[in-house]
Amino acid sequence: MLVALALPLAGPAAGRASPGTAPPPRAPPPVLLGGWTVPALGALVVLVGVSLGVPLCALAYWLIKGSSTTLPSASVFGATLADALGVALVAASPTPLYGRTRGTRPPPADIARRCPSASQWRAAEAAGG
């Protein structure tokens, strides 16, 4: 979240190297898997399924069969769902913020070049430009 908030402050030169530095090394070319493409994708699907399925099944089992609480299972399930949705919203919030701050308005240096004074800025803003 802090990175998304800091991007507008960094300006257009953020992430650029200084003129005297060497360019970054090139990425190696992708490896073609040929006949192993489908098994590799299947293994990734199984890995994701197991890594998500086992904890979710354990959580569901504990919520349904757990007898160490006096709370009704519906209230525990509702609270868990509300917490999960809240965390998901907070985790996903930087994505639209990043998209909104990049490419939707001219960088500050461009604005300063086009309208060097505050009066010109107000005039350009009033004229719709």
pLDDT of 10: 63
CA distance 13 to 8: 11
Residue 76 neighbours by CB distance under 10 Å: 15
CA-based torsion, 101, 105, 111, 115: positive or negative: negative
pLDDT of 105: 55
Instruction: Give the list of residues 6+ apart from residue 16 with CB closer than 8 angstroms, or none.
Output: none
* Successive 10-residue mean pLDDT values, the chain, 129 residues: 67 60 81 91 94 91 74 73 87 69 55 59 65
pLDDT of 51: 94
pLDDT of 48: 94
> Whole-prediction pTM value?
0.35
